[in-house]
Amino acid sequence: MPEIVIHEVGMRDGLQMESGTVPFETKVSWIEKLIKAGIDIIQIGSFVHPVKVPQMADTDRLFSYFASPGRKPASVVLSGLVLNEKGLERGEACGVEMYCMGVSASETHSMKNTGMSSAEATDRIIAMAQKAVAAGKKVQVSVQSAFGCGFEGPIPPERVLNIVQRYLAAGLRTISLADTAGHANPDGVRSLFKKIVMFDPGVELACHFHNTYGLGLANCHVALQSGVRSLESAFGGLGGCPFTKQPSGNVCTEDLVHYLQRSGQRPDIDLADLIALAREAAVFLKRDLPGYVYKVGPLKAAAPV
C-alpha cells in the first residue's frame, strides 16, 4: 500500500441513502472504473438486512463476482462493512478481503444503528474482529460519531479514547475515527488522533469524514498531519448514514485526490477516470452531486518548489 491510502466508500456509504436501486450490472461497472482509476481499497457493500437498506441487497453477489480470478488486480483490496455475527458469516462465505466494523461513541446513535449500547457493541465487535483476524483477514475497527452526534451533540473525547484503548488492548491496531454526523473540526481532529498515537505510535490510523458543515477536506488535511494514513471518501461526494439526524455526503473522492495531487501526492491515481465516474453517476441519479471538481474540472498539479 502507498503512504497515503484512498479507501473508496461510495459503493456502500454513498449508495445506502439512495431511494432508487442501482442495478447489479451498474455497480459492477462502477467498481471496475474505480479499480482502473487506481483506488487502493474499495468498500463494495455492507452485510445488513436488505429490507432496512435495500441498496445493499446484492452485497454478497458483488463480492462473489469479484472473487473470481482475473476480475481485479491483487493490489486492490475489497472491503465490506459488518455489524454483527451474521454479517461476518456472510462475508466469510463470499470472499471479503477486509472487514470494517465499528462502535458508536454516541449511545443514541448506537441504539438506532445496532440496537445495542456502546459497551455491548464494543464487546461484540472486538470478538468479531478477533475472529476475522484469526482467519487471516484484514480488519479495520472504527469509532463512529467520534467528533459529535446529531442527537447528543458533542461527544466527550474520553468516551472515544476509551473505545480505542479497548481495541488496542484486544490487539486491534488498524483504527478509524468516523465523523458520522459531520461535526468534526480541525482542532478536534488533531487532538484526538495525536492522543491515539501517544497510546501506540505504531497504530495504523484511518479517518472517515462527512462534509455536513463544509470542513471535510480541512479535516483530512489535519488528519494527515496527525499521523493518519488511510482516508475514506466517496465518488461524487455521495453518502450519509441513514441512522444519524442529518445525513450528509462523504468527503468527495475526486476532490480529495485533486487536493493530494496539487501537492504532488498520489499522481498514480487517474483523476480523469474519477471525474468521468462522478459525472456518470450524476446522470444516472438525475441530480447534481455534492462534489466540486467533477463540475468545474481539475487544476494542474503545482510545479515543484
Q: Give the angle subtended at the CA of 14 by the CAs of 47 and 166, to the nearest 5°.
A: 55
d(CA 92, CA 253): 28
Question: Is 94 annotated as catalytic?
Answer: no
Q: Which of 207, 220, 241, 252 is catalytic?
A: 241
Contacts of 212 (CB under 8 A, 6+ apart): 181, 182, 183, 246, 248
What is the full DSSP assignment across 105-129?
Answer: S-HHHHHHHHSS-HHHHHHHHHHHH
Report whether 21 contacts 265 (CB < 8 A). Answer: no
Q: Give the CB-side neighbour count of residue 281, counting CA atoms within 13 A.
A: 32
d(CA 59, CA 99): 13
Q: Which residues are catalytic?
A: 241
